[in-house]
Amino acid sequence: MFCYQCEQTAKGEGCTNVGVCGKQPDVAALQDLLIYAVKGLSLYAIEGRKVGVSDPEINKFTCEAVFSTLTNVDFDADRFVSLINEAVRLKDALKGKVSAAGGKVDFGEGPATFTPENSIDVDTAQGCNMSFRRTVLIEAGGFDERYGGTALLEETDAVLSVRKTGFTVRYTPYASLTHLALPTGGCRMPDEIADIYWYGHNSILLFFKHFPRHVFPVWCTVRIGKFLRDSVRMKSLQPFVTGLKSMFDGYRTYRTPKKSGGLPGSR
């Protein structure tokens, strides 16, 4: 996710793994998609006004939809799925009215033609709720417990491993899960240096497990650039030194045998 909507945003730059406000990546993605859908609706609304077509229901919906994405308004993912579908339904209806009135309805590919898929095949997944058939996950080798810290990228690794076995991975907006937030425990890494370390470590482990070696210089440069940026931001060499060490350690971990082929609930 990437969100820099409000003044709480992480490090003054943007919330990436999870929002400071508690916003989760799935909600951030759905909010982005809702704005995209509303852009499409608005294209027809603007053209409609030029030919005398204006729908109070659409005007009200547009205000409500945009307001729903503001900080801390509501983080219910199901609500955003409903709003996205409603935006598309209203857009399709408005398109017919605008066309009948002689207005422009030809906008080409983009928000104007956006229709959400019920589910789609995806290359990978990061930081999201996911489910596997147990036999498939076993065949793919299970979760790799060598990913350390908050196990960042462990889920990406699992998806890539499942795909290597020949299975597909599908995204669906309709699966839901109630996550009971706890005041302690869970995937939190309050120590930023430790966070930098495990990001570097896990990135390298993921790279050597799944990506072609010839793109390593690019992969490596991006990570080192991030560590440099962290050093400048924190006015300390520690993030850079820690980052470099983490990459060496990540490679060493890659050379060690995989642990147990962990399955959910096996820890």
Encoded one letter per residue, x for contact with ligand SF4 by CB under 6 A and - for no contact, window 24-63 reads ----------------------------------------
Instruction: Give the residue, chosen from 12, 16, 17, 21, that forms a contact with ligand SF4 under the rule CB under 6 A.
Output: 21
Asked if residue 9 binds ligand SF4 (CB under 6 A), the reply is yes
Nearer to ligand SF4, 69 or 231 (CB): 69
Size of the site for ligand SF4 (CB under 6 A): 12
Q: Which stretch binds ligand SF4 (CB under 6 A): 2-10, 116-124, 197-205, 233-241?
A: 2-10
Among positions 197-226, residues that touch ligand SF4 (CB under 6 A) are none
Contact characters 64-103, ligand SF4, x per CB under 6 A? -------x--------------------------------
Q: State the nearest-atom distance from the C-beta of 67 to ligand SF4, in Å.
A: 13
Rounded Cα distance, 54 and 37, in Å: 18
Minimal distance, residue 253 CB to ligand SF4, in Å: 31
Smaller CB distance to ligand SF4: residue 6 or 220? 6
Contact 98, 53 (CB under 8 A): yes
Report whether 83 contacts 133 (CB < 8 A).
no
- Residue 5 contacts ligand SF4 per CB under 6 A: yes
Q: Which is nearer to ligand SF4, 13 or 191 (CB)?
A: 13
Looking at beta carbons only, is 71 or 238 nearer to ligand SF4? 71
Beta-bridge partner residues of 27 = none
Residue 4 touches ligand SF4, criterion: CB under 6 A: yes
Q: Is 150 or 231 the residue whose CB approaches ligand SF4 more closely?
A: 150
Q: Does 15 bind ligand SF4 (CB under 6 A)?
A: yes
> What would the 3-class secondary structure string for the chain be?
CCECCCCCCHHHCCECCCCCCCCCHHHHHHHHHHHHHHHHHHHHHHHHHHCCCCCHHHHHHHHHHHHHCCCCCCCCHHHHHHHHHHHHHHHHHHHHHHHHCCCCCCCCCCHHHCCCCCCEECCCCCCCCCCCCHHHHHHCCCECCCCCCCCCCHHHHHHHHHHHCCCCCEECCCCCCCCCCCCCCCCCCCCHHHHHHHHHHHHHHHHHHHCCHHHHHHHHHHHHHHHHHHHHHHCCCHHHHHHHHHHHHHHHHHHCCCCCCECCCCC
Q: Is 129 in the site for ligand SF4 (CB under 6 A)?
A: no
Positions in the binding site for ligand SF4 (CB under 6 A): 3-6, 8-9, 15, 19-21, 23, 71
